[in-house]
Structure formats: structure tokens, C-alpha cells
Structure 1
Amino acid sequence: MKIDNTPNSVLISGGTQGLGLAVARSLVENGCREIILAGRTAETGARAQAEITALGATCHYIQTDISDATQAKRLIETAITHFDGLNSLVNAAATTSRGSLVDTDLDLWDEHMNINLRGPFLLMQGLTRHLLARQAAGSMVNILSTSAHVGQSFLTAYSTSKGGLLTLTKNTANALRADKIRVNAVAPGWMDTPAEAEIQKRFHGADDNWVEKAEATMPMGQLAKPAQLAPLITYLLSPSSGIITGATIDYDQQIIGAVPE
């Protein structure tokens, strides 16, 4: 099935690498021609912008740290100045730094809430206000994690922030149905990304072969891959996904709630 993204104008936070950049590639492959990429690092952003532009889209990179509320608000405002028809959002920016209940300090807690929950909230709020003012339909996809359901002991703040984003997804989907603004979420499991490589080395002493070792323990012999997941997000953003709203799709080989044999 061909995914129809022709009408879409999309902002992707965390769009300069990993899953966010894979979504941008998938969008362009399926007809999207207006993309905003947001991320913290200028060099990475410039490379990503050049790549997506070369694929045939009009692409802008906006350097942003969405942990800062002022920058998050400015991001959506600037994106709209580039594309007045902006109608879609992917909240892919996140931090996954570690901390259990007993060793998570207030700074770490605030970091997770500001990046993983408040930042997406502000972008969703800004885009929704723009769409309502124009009486335009729209679509948003929030990137959660299977950790939103429980999470590991060393992911207390992360899991809580993603659980909050799950509720925000469903709450806003319910509120915006009659305005034809759809809000959905995808919750990946363990994923092979540059950010995850940094986390594994920083917190778990992983070596350069960590992906190979991790995949040897997986039921399907691999970690989740951004290029495999991106078309699902593209579909949820697109008119092809019809009336789907308020959905949370667990994208993983581990089954939530399953009891070990």
C-alpha cells in the first residue's frame, strides 16, 4: 500500500538522528515535501537537513533544546513561520539517562519531565492552537517506550515521564476528535540507535559489539530498527491512516504482561 503523505507538513523533534531522522526519510519517500527537523547539535542538524533536502523535500533545521520551555515554544513558532500549513508533529526527542527510585535526584527527575513530557506538551499545544485557528485537520505521533507500562528499576524517571506522555496522548486525542486532529503514540522496545549506543557505554560499560551481544539474547534475533519502525509512524501521520486516534502501539518482541514460561 502506498502511504499518502502529500498534504503533510511535519515537525520532528529529535529529528536529526536515529528514529526521528528515519521518519523524515520515510516521509519523503512517501510524498511529504515540507519537513522541520529539531535537535540540540548544530553539526548533526546540518547533516540531517542536507540529507533530507537531497531526497527532494524542503527541509529546515532548527537548533533547539526542548528541555528549555522558552526554546520549545520558539520552536513551534519558528516552524510555523517556515510552513504556515504545518499540520503534523512527531515528538521523538527524549533522554533515557538512568536512575532508580532511591538514586534519582531532583535534577535528573526534572530533566526527564522537561524533555520527555513538558517539551512534547508545549509542541502539541502550539501546533493545536495553530490548527484550531485555521480550522485545519492535523496528526501527531508521540514516541513513547514500552517502559511507559512499567520499566526497569533503573528507569524510574524515564518510565514515569513516558507514562505521562501516554496519558497526554489519549487525553488530547479524546479532546480533539471533533476538530479532526488525530493523536497517536508508538512505544518501541529496545532499539538500535546512536543515542542508545551512548547510553549503553555510559551507564552499562558496553563495548563496540554491544548490539551483536544484545541481539543474541532477543527472541527474534534483533533489536528494533528505526528504518523498520519509521513507516508505521509515517502511516499514522498520513491521511492513509483514516480515523485512527488515541492508539498506542507497542513495537516490540517482548509481550507486555507475559509471564515467563
Structure 2
Amino acid sequence: MALLKDKVVLVNGGSQGVGAAIARASAREGAKVVITGRRPGPGEALVAELGGDALYVRADLSDAEQAKASVAATVDAYGRVDCLVNSAGLTARGTLLDTTPELFDAHIAVNLKGPFFAMQAAVADMLAREAPGTVVNIITSSAHGGQPFLAPYVAAKAGLAGLTRNAAHAHRWDRIRINGLNIGWTATEGEDATQRAFHGAEDGWLAEASAKLPMGKLGQPDEIADFVVLLLSDRSGVVTGSVIDWDQNVLGGLD
């Protein structure tokens, strides 16, 4: 359907996992895609896969200046940014009792500060051109409370959920739509590494975990990507300020 035909889409944290799936889906739907990430290898490989109008920009989204620079690089390359996706994330474990100030700051930097300043720069570009635009923030279902071992992650992502609503309200009259997606447990390369590093998972953990879930699988990055593309596109209509639970667990449901 070419939902993003001729749009310029910046996917921060787009070199792997959910971000890479969003980049692929955006390109498939006709967009010029810019992806960022800290490691050139995966980013450049994805750009080569996408071909055509795709660009990789090396950026550490924990640095506010680099977050803003990702937008500047997109504008330099394509003249504007129509759509921004903030998908970079840090999920390192920490409880209320064992989280260090350094770990807390790292979560805030990646999961909240980076998206804040990327949004600041992207919205400023849209306003300067008096043009509409869309933003989608990848948040987490854990923002509702989450597990005890995700304390700093939850703190930062809950902040991003609030920021999403605040910015959407502030810029609705500018026709800039800003929404968020509270994704649940998702099967990505990063999740595999996390399960092995923090939870002692071994080969076969994914199949075992999937069998215990209502839909028989973890969330899939390509499914999330299709939903994000819809939110970025005009097909999602006037929706703004929505933080949507994209999960198979029902908030408030009890067994």
C-alpha cells in the first residue's frame, strides 16, 4: 500500500531488533530510511540490505547531543524528517535496592533523555517547515509497574510514556502526532542475550517460554513494525497522545 511513500523516517536504535524491523517495514512502505546505532557493522549491513534511499548514522543515543545530531544528519541528507521512531533501549537489570546511581543514570540517558532530545530536534524541524509529522516511541508494558528486577528501566520508560502524552498535547495544533507503544516480551537478539546474561537461560529457552504464553509465542519484531508503520502513516488518522498496550497480557486481568 506504500503507507509511507516519499516520507523520511528516522529510526533511532534501528540497527537491530525491533528498530531494524521497523526500518525494514518503513522501507517496504516507500520511505527513505535513516537508522542509527552505536555499532557500524549491523547498521551498515542493514543499509546494504535495504538499498536505495537508506542511510546509517553512527550515534550513541545516551548522549543528548548525538540524539539531536541524528535528526540534523537526516535533515542534511534528505532535507527534512517526517517521522521519528525512538526504539533504542537499555534493559540492564536492577532492583530498588541494588541499582547504583551509575546504572540509574544509564537507563535515564538511553530510555528517556535520548528520546526527549531527538523529539525536540525533530519537532523543531517540523515546526520550522510548518509541516505535519509523526513520532512513535517504543516503550514497554513494564511501564505499568514491571518486575522487581527492572526498577530503573521502569522508572525511565514510565517517564517516556508521560513525555509522549505531554508532547502530543503540546503539539496537536501543529498537526504533529505523537504516540507510544507499550510492547510486551519480544523475541529479539537483544532479548536472547539478556536472558542468557541475567537469567541463566540456555539453548531452547525461547521455545519453552513461548509454550507458556497465551498466543504460543513471544511478540515478533515484524508484527510490531507493521503496527508502528500504521501509526506513522496517515492511515492512523487523528490518533495522538495514545500509549497503546501491544501485549498478550491484559492490564488488570487476573487468573
Name the TM-score, length of structure 1 as normaliser: 0.95
1:202 shift after superposition? 0.6
Equivalenced residue count is 255
Runs of 4+ in 1 over 2 A off after TM superposition: none
1:4 shift after superposition? 2.0
* Residue 18 (structure 1) aligns with: 17
* Residue 185 (structure 2) aligns with: 190
Structure 2 residue 68 is matched with structure 1 residue 81? no
1:70 shift after superposition? 2.3
CA separation in 1, counterparts of 2:209 and 2:70?
36
Deviation string, structure 1 residues 107-150 (Cα, Å, up to 9, x no partner): 10000000000000000000011110110100000000000111
CA separation in 1, counterparts of 2:151 and 2:252?
19
Deviation string, structure 1 residues 178-214 (Cα, Å, up to 9, x no partner): 1000000111100000111111111001112111111
Question: Percent identical across equivalent pairs?
Answer: 41
Match of 1:242 among 234, 237, 246: 237
1:153-232 matched pairs, under 5 angstroms: 153-232=148-227
1:3 shift after superposition? 5.5
Match of 1:35 among 33, 36, 45: 33
* Residue 43 (structure 2) aligns with: 45
* Residue 101 (structure 1) aligns with: 96
CA separation in 2, counterparts of 1:13 and 1:208?
30
* Residue 9 (structure 1) aligns with: 8
Deviation string, structure 1 residues 11-33 (Cα, Å, up to 9, x no partner): 0011011111111111122222x
Q: Which amino acid aligns with 2:172?
A: R
CA separation in 1, counterparts of 2:116 and 2:92?
20
Partners of 1:145 and 1:188 within 8 A in 2: yes
Partner secondary structure for residue 171 of structure 2: helix
Deviation string, structure 1 residues 131-176 (Cα, Å, up to 9, x no partner): 1011010000000000011110000000111100000000000110
Q: Which runs of 5+ in 2 are unaligned?
A: none
Partner secondary structure for residue 140 of structure 1: strand
CA separation in 1, counterparts of 2:81 and 2:48?
20
Q: Which runs of 5+ in 1 are unaligned?
A: none
